[in-house]
Amino acid sequence: MDKEQATVKPGLRANVKINYHFGAPFAENDHLIWSLRKDTILLAENRVSAPRPKKFKTLIPKAISDLEGNFPTLAEQDKFFDFISSGDPVDRIILSNPNFIGAPTWMLSGGKFFPNAGRNIYNIHSLLPDNPSEYFIGISNPVTCLSAAFGAQTSRSNRQFFNNVELDTIRWSTVIQSIQQVSPGTPITVWCDEETPIIWPTILREISGIDPQVEMAGDLDIIKKIMSKEGGDRMEAYLQAHPKLNELQRRRVKDEFLRKFVLESAVEKEIDLKGWTDDTVDAMTDIYEDDIDFIDQMPGVTLISA
């Protein structure tokens, strides 16, 4: 991954922070930008840009390919920056795409879990190497992640997809470590998809830098997706009637409403994989939960939890 060093000092553009968001496919990672963009005026007032993923979906791979292993010149960096910022005055840009770490179909390439995550993130980060940055990673139980990824494609057999991977080696911590190895010192914030209905407001504010006391239009997007309409409406009305609740109190309120009005069909995940038994699912889930504890202790990593 050696690259030619840029020879020109960066300009004021390099003071803008770039937050890269990625993570487990088929989780709520796809929803983050859409929740944020409900508050376009609020974001603009706080000098935050959250471009739609489709805006840079093809641009980033092409820019990386065109560099042929070299660092971009300042002119190339400025061109890329102007494109993702739309030329607006910003202090923070949020680039979000779950596939930054790799395509779901190839998440087990070579018998390893997202083996190209470190290289991919390094290449993306290198498009604006002088800018301060942070990584935001949404993870999920590999049981549901793998099942959804396999079910979403038809070109590969079970044997081809799983590629002789040892299931007990699948850990998100190894993905995070591979990213830390190529980008040492870059802060990483992690959360679990299973907890997003409760912690979604915190995620939105952590990545955008919006004041925790400021209400955001997308705060209830995830939790209302898994509740009955009656329950969601009642919860929203209660929270609006009690605006002085702090975040911990709001989480407790949401947890109570969720317990009463949850739609089981929205939270139950059917696992239909050849050779997988209940014992397989339980064992992998135990490994995932242990891995979360490990991630919580990793230097340079902040875990958002309910």
Q: What is the CATH classification number for the domain harbouring 86?
A: 3.40.50
* Nearest Cα residue to 125 out of 55, 77, 88, 194: 77
Query: Is residue 186 one of the residues assigned to a domain?
Result: yes
Residuewise pLDDT in 10s, the chain (306 residues): 444 444 334 456 888 999 999 999 888 888 999 999 999 999 999 999 999 998 888 899 999 999 888 889 999 999 999 889 887 889 999 999 999 999 998 899 888 999 999 999 999 999 999 899 999 999 999 999 999 999 888 888 888 889 889 999 999 999 999 999 999 999 999 999 999 999 999 999 999 999 998 999 999 999 999 999 999 999 999 999 999 999 999 999 999 999 999 998 877 777 878 889 999 999 999 999 999 999 999 999 999 998
Q: Which residue has the tokens 């992640």?
A: 145
Spatial CB neighbours of 233, under 8 Å, sequence gap ≥ 6:
none
Give the per-residue pLDDT at 4.
Answer: 43
Give the per-residue pLDDT at 88.
Answer: 81
Distance from C-alpha of 132 to C-alpha of 110, rounded to nearest angstrom: 33
Give the per-residue pLDDT at 11.
Answer: 53
Query: Is residue 275 one of the residues assigned to a domain?
Result: no
Name the pairing type of β-strands 17-23 and 48-49: unpaired
* Nearest Cα residue to 205 out of 270, 295, 107, 136: 136
Query: Is residue 104 one of the residues assigned to a domain?
Result: yes
Query: Is residue 67 one of the residues assigned to a domain?
Result: yes
Other C-beta atoms closer than 10 Å to the C-beta of 7 total 8
Q: In this structure, what DSSP letter does residue 227 have?
A: B
Query: Is residue 261 one of the residues assigned to a domain?
Result: no
Query: Is residue 264 one of the residues assigned to a domain?
Result: no
The backbone torsions φ and ψ at residue 262, rounded to the nearest 5 degrees and listed phi first, read -65, 145
Distance from C-alpha of 122 to C-alpha of 18, rounded to nearest angstrom: 14
Query: Is residue 242 one of the residues assigned to a domain?
Result: no
Partner residues linked to 246 by β-bridges:
none
Number of domains in the chain: 1
Distance from C-alpha of 276 to C-alpha of 240, rounded to nearest angstrom: 45
Name the pairing type of β-strands 133-139 and 17-23: parallel
Query: Is residue 237 one of the residues assigned to a domain?
Result: no
Give the domain range for residue 146.
12-214+288-304
Residue type, 188: I
* Coil/strand/helix, residue 92: strand
172: enclosing H helix or E strand? helix 172-182
Give the per-residue pLDDT at 6.
Answer: 41
The answer to whether the Cα torsion of 110, 175, 297, 181 is positive or negative is positive
Strand residue runs (E) in the chain: 17-23, 48-49, 92-96, 133-139, 188-192, 301-304
Is 106 in contact with 32 (CB distance < 8 Å)?
no
Give the per-residue pLDDT at 29.
Answer: 84
